Amino acid sequence: MKIRAISSILMIAALSACGDGGGPRYLVESPPSALSVRSAVDTLLVRTVSLPVYAADEEIAFQDESGVIQTTNLGLWADDPERATTLTITRHLNAMSSAKVASEPWPLPQPPEGVADVRIENFIATNAGTFRISGQYFMGSEQPQPEINFENPDEQPRQLPAPLPDRVKIFDISVSLVGEGPAAIAAAQAAALTELSEQMARDLVR
C-alpha cells in the first residue's frame, strides 16, 4: 500500500469527522486461533496492558511519511485502548490454553497461580504499510510452600519448583495493512494481537 494513499484517506476521514462530533468508532475484533496448549498453571491473571501515550488515546494514530505520529480526528476506537487490548489478550489466552484467565481486578475467590504482564513500546500503523506491536511480556508464578513429609517430621521439607517458571520475552510483530483507512488499521491491529497472544500461550507450557 502506498503511504501517500494511506495518509490521504486518513486525512479525508479526519475532515469528515469534524462535522459529526468525533467520527465513527472502530472495534478491534481479533480473529480466532487454532492454537491449543496445556497450561502449567490452572489460573492466570493478566495485568492491565501498558500502552504508549499515543496508543492509549481514543483517537486512532498513524505514522506519516516523515515518521511523525499523527493523532488527528481519523475516527475513534470503540473502547478504551488499554482496556480493549487487555481484554483481547485475556480472551485469547482463555481460548488457547487450559487455564482460567482473567484481567485485573482478579474476580475469583482463590488467588491466581500465575501472572502475565505486557508492556508495549510500539503500537502503531507505520509508514511502511504495517501495524507494529513491540515490547516485552513477563510471566511467572510463586514457588509453592515446601512439601513436608508428615510420616517423617525430621526429614528436610522438599522444595517444589514454581509451576510456571519466570519468563521475560521481547516481541516485535508486524502485520501488513490490507486496504485503507481506520478499518484497515483496526484489522491489522487485531491480527497482531492474536499473534502476540499465541506467543504468550506457548509460554504457558512448562
Residue 132 belongs to domain with CATH number: 3.40.50.10610
Establish if 55 belongs to a structural domain.
yes
Q: Which of 72, 62, 78 is nearest to 6 (CA)?
A: 62
Q: What are phi and psi of 85, to 5 degrees?
A: -65, -45
Alpha helices in the chain (DSSP H): 3-17, 53-56, 81-96, 182-202
Establish if 31 belongs to a structural domain.
no
Query: What pLDDT, on a 0 to 100 scale, did the predictor assign at position 195?
Result: 97
Establish if 137 belongs to a structural domain.
yes
CA angle 138, 141, 146 (to 5 degrees): 150
Measure the CA–CA gap between 132 and 76, rounded to whole angstroms: 19
Establish if 130 belongs to a structural domain.
yes
Establish if 129 belongs to a structural domain.
yes
Measure the CA–CA gap between 176 and 120, rounded to whole angstroms: 19
Count, residues in the chain: 206
Looking at this protein, which amino acid is placed at residue 139?
M
Query: What pLDDT, on a 0 to 100 scale, did the predictor assign at position 72?
Result: 64
Query: What pLDDT, on a 0 to 100 scale, did the predictor assign at position 79?
Result: 96
With DSSP H G I counted as helix, E B as strand and the rest as coil, what are the percentages for the chain, rounded to 5? 25, 25, 45
Establish if 149 belongs to a structural domain.
no
How many angstroms separate the Cα of 158 from the Cα of each of 123, 135, 141, 144, 192? 45, 37, 18, 10, 43
**Structural domains in the chain (count):** 1
Cell of 150: 508428615
Q: What is the mean pLDDT of each run of 10 residues along the chain (206 residues)?
A: 48 44 82 94 97 95 92 84 98 97 96 96 97 98 62 65 90 95 94 98 93
Query: What pLDDT, on a 0 to 100 scale, did the predictor assign at position 71?
Result: 78
Q: What are phi and psi of 196, to 5 degrees?
A: -60, -45
pTM (predicted TM-score): 0.82
> Residue 185 is part of which domain span?
3-26+38-143+162-202
Measure the CA–CA gap between 100 and 47, rounded to whole angstroms: 14
